[in-house]
Structure 1
Amino acid sequence: MKSALCRIAALVALAHAVHAAPLVTAGKPAEFSIRVVGDGALRVTLKPLDFKADLSSNPALLDRTDAPVLRLQELNEPKEITAGGLSISIKPDPLTLRVSSTEGTLIQELSFQNDGGITFPLDDQPVLGLGEGGPMPGKDWRHDPVQFDRRGRLDTMEPHWQSDAYGSRNPVALLVGTRGWGLWFATPWGKIDLSKPETGKFIPIEAKDPKAMRQTFGNQQLQ
């Protein structure tokens, strides 16, 4: 009996000695943080540890450095907090952020993938946003419907100038779900894939030679 108790004690000690799994992004150790930026609004950041700035620079965001309500470099079990009037849960494998109302109604869920992408569920309601303009029109473009609901296609988020149609295509990685959620992928630049009916995905841009990535007159008509 005494030896059995010793074995149980040893198991308990080992359980407490298990180390949390380090967070990784783009194959590098990473830090995950959440900041409250308004009532019902959060700024979520996942960055490599070798990125020394506290936040990435973006002229569309206020230059503010509010202290994070949560900062993690490793995670082994789910965590739950309440901030900004929202209930927030985080779990590992893959790193997943779930945001709900304080009454328990799911607002949105982000899953950070190993390939750098971020997936999120879609519902049966229209998704607005992604900037002004629309798909390249055909010959009879005046009779084509303007695309307000962005579901059902991959948006490469490339600017285009089309003076004979809907005007300039000025992409913005802002999504507004009419069921009551919003997402803005501030950095890095990337594609928005809403082609699947139940799941959307943010796909970060592939780093290339800046000259090869630069737009020219020739690719302005590409969609």
Structure 2
Amino acid sequence: MKLKYILFLAFFCFYNYSYSSEFRRLKKEAMVNQGIKGADIIFYGELIKIDTINKISTFRILELFKGNYNSKIINAKSDETDYPIYPLKKDLWIVYALFNKDKKTITLDLRSPTQTMEIGTGFLPPVPIHGIYGKKITKLDSIICEVENLKIRNETLSAFFYQLELLRAYKSSQNIISEKEKTELKIESYSKYIIISLIVNILLFSFLIFIILKKKIFIK
């Protein structure tokens, strides 16, 4: 009986881990790359307001990695997805989102790599254990569960900063591409200017030769 109880407790402690297994099969790099491809906007920000009645979450954008958005404040209203995220705690977030039909608010989707510093990608918030089948949780049981939760929190925090590193590298690469495109446009414009100048000079030179030849013919 004791063995069954311990096994059930272990299963309960690993519930969040099991829940997110579908998302964690992907390598971190692949997960982020997939998120970049599928998102309209990606940012690192702070959740500053939670409206539980209207289910609206307000974020302050601290660092924008993808998307055109002029304001530092953005609202999330996740009604346009089958797997919505409704934030329950103010925290620092990495958000991958799609714009809603209004083109102003965004949708937070559980299938994206969106995460906080405390809750990892695809995780539900930790559930406190008070008792199982009316039995009292022993101190040892609580310690075992807390150790497993600490492992998950440590991995979540590690993944958070890893994502930031990858997203900053992505942003830098896009800036380099943008500068390269600008340089190519300048070179292309300069090349066109040179070609036009050559054509004009050839025409002027041809016209000058024509005038000289015409004068010679007239003198004769």
Shorter-chain-normalised TM-score: which range?
Answer: under 0.3
Q: Which structure has the higher relative contact order (CA within 8 Å, separation 6+)?
A: 2
Q: Give the TM-score, by structure 2 length.
A: 0.23
Bigger radius of gyration? 2
Q: Name whichever structure is richer in helix by fraction.
A: 2
